[in-house]
Amino acid sequence: MKTKILIAALLSGLVMTAGAAQAQGPNERPDFATLDLNGDGALTLDELQAQGEARFAAQDTNGDGALSAQELSTRASDRAASMIARFDQNGDGLLQLDEMPTREERRAAQMFDRVDADEDGAISADEFEEARERRGERRGPGRKNRG
């Protein structure tokens, strides 16, 4: 279950356009210091998962442990309904965390491994910045970085 939280934290924080930090706007990415919850200069999988859990909880406005289309719609109601339709395995019209696709879990773990260059199980500030720079280089000149 914790690995599934990594989707929200890692993809949102490092790859997708939505920020995982609660204090930031919806199109901003969290900085390293925000993700480094214990301030030790390294990102662990647990820290990224905690960000994902916090983001999920913030969107679960009624506290029922599931995201309804209405709760997700604060950002894009059509996208939310489509997401629920795709992932709602039990047909209850709600998206539970355990209904997130396993393909995303594998992708998130692979991305974590690519960023963790020294393979110590944590992402240092240097590794974080190197990954951010590599991502910018892949975009090429003249392409806007979305967040």
Measured in whole angstroms, how far is the alpha carbon of residue 20 from the centre of its chain? 6
Predicted pLDDT of residue 127: 93
Of 1-5, 47-51, 52-56, 77-81, the poorest mean pLDDT is in 1-5
Bridge partner residues of 67 (DSSP): 95
Predicted pLDDT of residue 128: 92
Q: pTM of the full predicted structure?
A: 0.38
Mention every residue, 6+ apart, whose C-beta is less than 8 A from residue 122: 42, 43, 44, 116
Q: For residues 113 and 117, what is the distance between their CA atoms, to the nearest angstrom?
A: 7
> What would the pLDDT profile of 16-73 be if each residue is shown by its tens digit?
333 333 344 444 577 888 889 899 999 998 988 888 888 888 888 899 999 888 787 6
DSSP 14: I
> What would the pLDDT profile of 100-116 be if each residue is shown by its tens digit?
767 777 788 788 888 99
Helix (H, G, I), strand (E, B) or coil at 44: strand
Domains in the chain with CATH codes: 2-64+102-139 (1.10.238)
What is the overall mean pLDDT for the chain?
Answer: 75
Query: How sure is the predictor about 147, in pLDDT bands with cuts at 50, 70 and 90?
Result: very low
pLDDT(10) > 90: no
